[in-house]
Amino acid sequence: MKSSHGRSRQQTAFAVCAAVLVLLVSLAGCVEHRADTIVIGSKNFPEQALLGEILAQHIEARTHLRVERRFYLAGSYICQQAMLAGRIDAYVEYTGTALTAILKDPIESDPAGVFAKVQSEYKQRFHFDVLPSLGFNNTFAIVIRGEDARNLHISKLSEAAPYARNWRAGFGYEFMERPDGYPGLARVYGLQFASTPRILDLGLLYRALLEKQVDLVAGNSTDGLIAARDLAILADDKHYFPPYEAVPIVREDTFARHPEVRGAIAELAGRISDAEMQKMNYAVAGEDRDTAEVAREFLHAQGLE
């Protein structure tokens, strides 16, 4: 039956709309990376950007692939979602965070055990490969002034108990509240301080320590200032703090598409010590240097180009 003008105009308009919508959805849905590109992500603090940059530069040097950087994603959840959706191919996570925040398992303190659990569950649940640690453990660090460590001849937390009575401690709010923070620490090592620990802004902890307003702080083991100033970490010999080893996490199918990436990342395993990481963090955060440059310097120094 013949349709008249208005009717068929409506129908054409509809058809066009529907076609455009279908086109858009399917086009957007099958967004593929360009065949020779992979995407490295990172969380939103300088250490993460450094690690991402190191990974990216090394892959670019060792393979013919182009690496896209998607740094400063807002956190573990965002990175995990980006991995699941295939928007990034890899990023560096910390084993303790992977265990508790992503896998939602209870925290443990045995580094090997944690790594094994994370590796097997990530493989099973998400089809992600967890690669061996880059060499450092970004966990909580109990830090005292270097001179005190030398004068008292202490290097381990278990040696600290007798002196704690004379010290004032400074902690961030979170460390005070977390069950695996101050309360557990005091219990495990029998630490009793001269008075209740002061709660300080994270950015001011080290300054307060250096200016002798406090004698002991809880920071992160890879904080840049630890290397730059005369500070010492008391070793967690009773393994109270959970492990937060830095491990590259890569999508299984990224390795399937580009097997050469596995070899490139493997060369980085164990290369970055706590001290090395501290130095690089200080260069970027403390000396305001360019992340890519610091990363390049590190790779060059390691003979890895």
Report the b/e string of 51-87 with b at 16+ CB within 10 A.
bbbbbbbbbeebbebebebbbebeebebbbebbeeeb
Number of residues that bind other proteins (CB under 8 A): 34
Sign of CA dihedral 204, 208, 209, 215: negative
Query: Smallest distance, Å, CB 74 to other proteins?
Result: 6
Which of the stretches 8-16, 174-182, 194-202, 213-221 binds other proteins when contact is defined by CB under 8 A? 8-16
267, two tokens: 């060369």
CB neighbourhood size of 135 (10 A): 16
17 binds other proteins (CB under 8 A): yes
How far is 269 from 96, CA to CA, in rounded Å? 18
35 binds other proteins (CB under 8 A): no
77 binds other proteins (CB under 8 A): yes
| Contact with other proteins (CB under 8 A) among 71, 115, 244, 298 | 71
| Contact with other proteins (CB under 8 A) among 8, 15, 19, 25 | 25
121 binds other proteins (CB under 8 A): no
| Contact with other proteins (CB under 8 A) among 35, 64, 85, 301 | 85
80 binds other proteins (CB under 8 A): yes
Secondary structure (3-state) at 277? helix
Residues 264-293 that bind other proteins (CB under 8 A): none
Beta strands in the chain (DSSP E): 37-43, 66-73, 90-94, 128-130, 140-145, 169-171, 198-199, 216-220, 231-234, 246-251
Query: Smallest distance, Å, CB 34 to other proteins?
Result: 7
Cα–Cα distances in angstroms (integers) from residue 298 to residues 53, 234, 262, 283, 284, in the given order: 11, 26, 20, 11, 13
112 binds other proteins (CB under 8 A): no
Query: Smallest distance, Å, CB 4 to other proteins?
Result: 4
Q: Which residues contact other proteins (rule: CB under 8 A)?
A: 1, 4-7, 9-10, 13, 17, 21, 24-25, 27-29, 31, 34, 37, 44, 68, 70-74, 77-82, 84-85, 87
